């Protein structure tokens, strides 16, 4: 949402709708969206001049999902419903344009989607309601083919254009609504669920999806923490304007917010060449993305991450970046077949590519905050090995892949020892707690006895007397290719079962062990920041109330200095006694003059009063805040009068 477009027109319009004097800070992005939503839904309900009980219930259900019962937004929602109806805002295209101007294309599509949902709530879509939505959609700049998709979604039609469905799914991607609030992310996800399947989707309905529910939940908590940080930043900015908080706190919260926002789980897959790394990644992603073949394949570091659209970016060693066509990705990410067959490792060293960034909107694992690093094969070329080892410094978990049919050669054992030390910051004594050892190609071991033998061989070395790994479920045995085939073909077999056990262990480690540490560290930083804020606000409050005074030691020191400088302590005491009666008379006269204009002065002072509480949402708290202001400013006036009166009297007599 472009909040720079929330100007005086929007403020005046919403003040008129709600009957409240709103300010800029009252109009948060969720409030702007909600006002637009109330307008569209009321327009749909009233389009056919008949309001059914079902429509009333749907209106409440839809609007209440965007607020909690005790929140100020809930109260504002009720005012919006009343104001939109009384002022007939739903009929005023100019007003609707003002309300929706800050909304993005995705937010406008979500808005009109709820309108179509409301229209179809009674089982059929009234032609007058549909016509109203088409008019509104035209004002919002929504394409007619997108409206056809929404019509099909809520009238259960199947014949719909594939490209249009894909466009709507792209625009309603939940990631696009994270800046608003987590409730909008969920709303977009729910709306996606009702969209019609296109032919491409229907042909792959048997495909099995590996779900990552724990990561999804963690991602939601992480988003909430971001939201809290952003709200703290707003509060600090407000307090800074009135010199209640030091400017340095803004930089601190900004730094913490950016750090939390950029946090990702980084998962690296390493091992010697031709151990099935690319196939394992394809199984994790549920799609054949990485190039895979029997001979060495990966030619550079590839980072797979979530993106709003499929996009491939090459980063070169000289600092250049280039976006390349999607169909060139596998070619760029691989070494040439001739080099792989002929072991021409010089091709690897001469490559100009530093790394390739692959972004994709449909990767379940990556959409929940995980970036995956596909590294070149270890031990094939010194430069590639060095690059891979450098990447390990920034990873949360590492998967070491080995071939169970010829598992843990001496070279692999040495590599595992090096990995353990690298992941432990150079320490050789302790095992690594973020290292997973995975035996691949279990489908090629034909006998049960053979399977037990390869398992025992790997487990004895990895978890024996001098363990390489630490923690639960760090060793797994899978068939990456068989698992990928099962996912694509929709076969629930033994290989898919063991693969799921592996992914669940990986997910538990990332969320419960690594994720918990990340959240705790972030929360501690936020808590420390808040404590600094509280201390600064307390000091500001004490200063305003006059609680910060000189200590007795400091007072006596000052008196001693005065006495030494003048030698007139006794004289001062006598003068003070003689002037006492005169000062009292002058004080009475001064008080009467001061009291005469007190009312006007307090009215003028009240113009500068400020509170973070809204007159719409927190009226009781606002009254309390302003009462405190009145008491504080009145006390300050009295103090000023007293000081002025005493000073004038003393100067006159002295």
Please give the residue that has the higher pLDDT: either 205 or 231: 231
Least confident interval from 55-64, 260-269, 517-526, 571-580: 571-580
- Determine contact, residues 256/529, Cβ cutoff 8 Å: yes
Which of 25-29, 199-203, 490-494, 609-613 ranks highest by mean pLDDT? 490-494
104 located within any domain: yes
d(CA 504, CA 595): 75
- Judge whether 10 lies within some domain: yes
Residue 228: φ, ψ to 5°? -60, -40
Rounded distance between C-alpha atoms, residue 633 and residue 392, angstroms: 60
Judged against a pLDDT cut of 70, whether residue 487 lies above it is answered with yes
pLDDT over threshold 90, residue 114: no
Structural domain for 107, as ranges: 3-205
Structural domain includes residue 178? yes
Q: Tell me whether residue 214 is in a domain.
A: no
* Structure tokens belonging to residue 182: 């987590």
Check whether residue 295 and residue 347 sit in a common domain.
yes
> Domain count of the chain?
3
pLDDT digits (tens, 9 = 90+) for 515-559: 888 888 878 888 887 888 788 777 767 766 665 554 566 556 655
pLDDT digit string (tens) for 58-70?
888 788 777 766 6
The pLDDT score that the predictor gives to residue 437 is: 95
Q: Decide if pLDDT at 510 tops 70.
A: yes
Do 308 and 407 lie in a common domain?
yes
What HEC string does 460-491 produce? HHHCCCCCCECCCCCEEECCHHHHHHHHHHCC
Domain of residue 453, CATH code:
3.40.50.300
Task: Tell me, yes or no, whether 193 and 117 share the same domain.
Answer: yes
Confidence label for 83 from pLDDT (cuts 50, 70 and 90): confident
Is the domain of 282 the same as that of 189? no
Range with lowest mean pLDDT among 80-94, 420-434, 592-606? 592-606
pLDDT for 468 beyond 70 = yes
Instruction: Tell me what the mean pLDDT of segment 128-155 comes to.
Output: 84
Same domain, 13 and 117: yes
Share above pLDDT 90 across residues of the chain, in percent, rounded to a whole number: 8
Q: Could you tell me if 126 and 271 lie in one domain?
A: no
Residue 379, phi-psi category: left (phi > 0), alpha (psi -120 to 50), beta (remainder): left
Rounded to whole angstroms, how far apart are CA atoms 204 and 636? 75
Angle in degrees, 0-180, between the axes of helices 29-47 and 53-64, rounded to the nearest 10: 170
- Among 498, 521, 544, residue at a domain's last position: 521
Position 534 in a domain? no
Greater model confidence, 359 or 392 = 359
| Residue 168, CA distances (Å) to 88, 150, 179, 360, 394 in order | 30, 9, 19, 16, 36
**What is the average pLDDT score of the chain?**
76
Q: How many residues are there in the chain?
A: 654
Residue 628 lies in a domain: yes
Residue at 540 is within a domain = no
pLDDT confidence of 568, banded at 50, 70, 90?
Answer: very low
Does residue 513 sit in the same domain as residue 566? no
Domain C-terminal end among 205, 226, 254: 205
Q: Is residue 529 part of a domain?
A: no
CATH number reported for the structural domain that contains residue 104 in this entry:
1.10.3680.10
Q: How many CA atoms lie within 13 A of 349 on its CB side?
A: 8
Quote the pLDDT of residue 399: 93
């Amino acid at each position: 949402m472009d909040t720079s477009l929330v100007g005086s027109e929007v403020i005046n319009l919403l003040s008129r709708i709600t009957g409240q004097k709103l300010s800029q800070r009252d109009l948060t992005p969720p409030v702007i969206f909600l006002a637009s939503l109330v307008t569209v839904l009321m327009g749909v309900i009233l389009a056919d001049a008949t309001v059914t009980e079902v429509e009333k219930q749907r209106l409440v259900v839809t609007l209440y999902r965007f607020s909690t019962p005790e929140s100020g937004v809930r109260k504002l929602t009720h005012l919006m419903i009343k104001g939109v109806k009384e002022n007939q805002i739903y009929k005023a295209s100019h007003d609707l344009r003002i309300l929706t101007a800050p909304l993005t294309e995705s937010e406008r599509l979500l808005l009109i989607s709820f309108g179509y949902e409301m229209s179809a709530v009674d089982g059929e879509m009234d032609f007058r309601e549909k016509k109203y939505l088409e008019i509104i959609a035209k004002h919002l700049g929504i394409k007619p083919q997108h409206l056809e998709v929404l019509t099909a979604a809520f009238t259960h039609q199947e014949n719909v254009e594939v490209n249009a469905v894909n466009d709507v799914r792209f625009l309603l991607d939940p990631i696009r609504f994270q800046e608003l609030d987590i409730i909008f992310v969920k709303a977009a996800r729910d709306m996606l669920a009702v969209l019609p399947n296109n032919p491409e989707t229907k042909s792959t309905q048997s495909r099995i999806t590996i779900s990552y529910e724990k990561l999804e939940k963690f991602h939601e908590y992480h988003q909430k923490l971001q939201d809290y940080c952003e709200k703290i930043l707003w509060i600090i900015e407000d307090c800074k304007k009135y010199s209640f908080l030091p400017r340095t706190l803004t930089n601190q919260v900004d730094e913490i917010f950016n750090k939390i926002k950029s946090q990702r789980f980084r998962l690296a897959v390493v091992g010697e060449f031709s151990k099935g790394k690319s196939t394992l990644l394809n199984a994790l992603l549920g799609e054949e993305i990485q190039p895979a073949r029997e001979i060495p394949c990966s030619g550079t570091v590839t980072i797979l991450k979530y993106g709003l659209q499929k996009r491939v970016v090459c980063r070169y060693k000289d600092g250049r970046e280039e976006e390349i066509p999607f169909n060139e990705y596998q070619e760029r990410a691989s070494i040439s077949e001739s080099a792989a067959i002929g072991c021409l490792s010089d091709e690897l060293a001469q490559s100009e590519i530093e790394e390739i960034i692959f972004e994709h909107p449909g990767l379940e694992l990556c959409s929940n905050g995980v970036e995956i690093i596909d590294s070149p094969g270890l031990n094939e070329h010194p430069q590639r090995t060095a690059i891979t080892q450098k990447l390990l410094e920034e990873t949360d978990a590492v998967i070491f892949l080995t071939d169970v049919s010829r598992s843990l050669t001496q070279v692999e054992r040495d590599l595992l020892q090096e990995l353990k030390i690298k992941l432990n910051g150079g320490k050789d004594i302790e095992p690594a707690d973020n290292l997973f050892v995975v035996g691949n190609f279990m489908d090629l071991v034909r006998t049960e006895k053979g399977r037990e033998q390869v398992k025992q061989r790997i487990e004895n070395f990895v978890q024996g007397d001098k363990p390489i790994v630490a923690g639960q479920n760090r060793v797994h045995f899978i068939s990456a290719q068989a698992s990928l085939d099962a996912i694509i073909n929709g076969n629930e077999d033994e290989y898919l079962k063991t693969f799921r056990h592996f992914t669940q262990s990986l997910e538990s480690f990332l969320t419960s062990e690594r994720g918990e540490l990340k959240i705790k560290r972030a929360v501690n930083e936020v808590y420390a920041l808040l404590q600094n804020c509280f201390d600064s606000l307390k000091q500001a409050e004490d200063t305003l109330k006059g609680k910060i005074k000189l200590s007795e030691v400091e007072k006596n020191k000052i008196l001693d200095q005065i006495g030494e400088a003048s030698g007139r302590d006794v004289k001062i005491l006598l003068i003070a006694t003689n002037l006492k009666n005169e000062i009292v008379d002058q004080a009475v006269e001064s008080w009467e003059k001061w009291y005469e204009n007190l009312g006007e002065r307090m009215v003028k002072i009240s113009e500068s009063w400020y509170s973070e509480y809204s007159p719409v949402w927190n009226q009781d708290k606002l009254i309390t805040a302003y009462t405190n202001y009145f008491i504080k400013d009145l006390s300050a006036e009295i103090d000023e009068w007293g000081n002025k009166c005493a000073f004038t009297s003393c100067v006159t007599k002295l």
